[in-house]
Structure 1
């Protein structure tokens, strides 16, 4: 059983302390709401997706240019990839021709 002596001393907060806490909490809530609003804004999401697509396209273009340079330089790995791709295309065309002739 607890007595009054066992309880920690609780001092009364002043009106200024309470008001300061309320202002701080209000500022935090406002900041969080602004961040949430920005995250779910459709215009921002579209802009972010456009940026991601542009970055991906730029990266892919750079990789394709580098690959083309490797093919021009007759790098064995690049030539192997081109050969394999040509074989796959030839196989697909061959299968398509066989299906049509039946």
Structure 2
């Protein structure tokens, strides 16, 4: 868009301006849609459910295969539950 003979930038045509505005609108719409998805609680809950489900499956597979980390987590949970039971019995 520059005029080679004068060295000045040529003014954009009406069609070029309309095309730039249309592109800017599309870009803005896309950005707003993306931001809306990021902050939508329904989308966040769906993503959280998927993450929890994946981790639960991995944990279950770890237990089935005898993974020490998974077994340690279960052992720690059982120990904590036992401690709660003992403390509640002693308080009576």
Please state which band the TM-score falls in when normalised by the shorter chain: 0.5 to 0.7
Distance of 1:53 and 1:39 partners within structure 2: 18
Larger radius of gyration: 1
List runs of 5+ in structure 1 lacking aligned partners: 1-6, 69-77
Which portions of structure 1, spanning 4 or more consecutive aligned residues, are displaced by more than 4 angstroms? none
Displacement, 1:47?
0.6
What residue ranges of structure 2 are gaps of 5+ in the alignment? 1-5
* 1:8 CA displacement: 3.6
CA distance in 2, matches of 1:23, 1:44: 29
How high is the TM-score relative to the length of structure 2? 0.65
Higher relative contact order (CA 8 A, sep 6+): 2
Distance 1:10 1:51 in 2: 53
1:23 aligns with 2:22: yes
Aligned to 2:40: 41
Shift of 1:65: 0.4
**How far apart are the structure 2 equivalents of 1:51 and 1:21?**
40
The normalised TM-score by structure 1 is 0.59
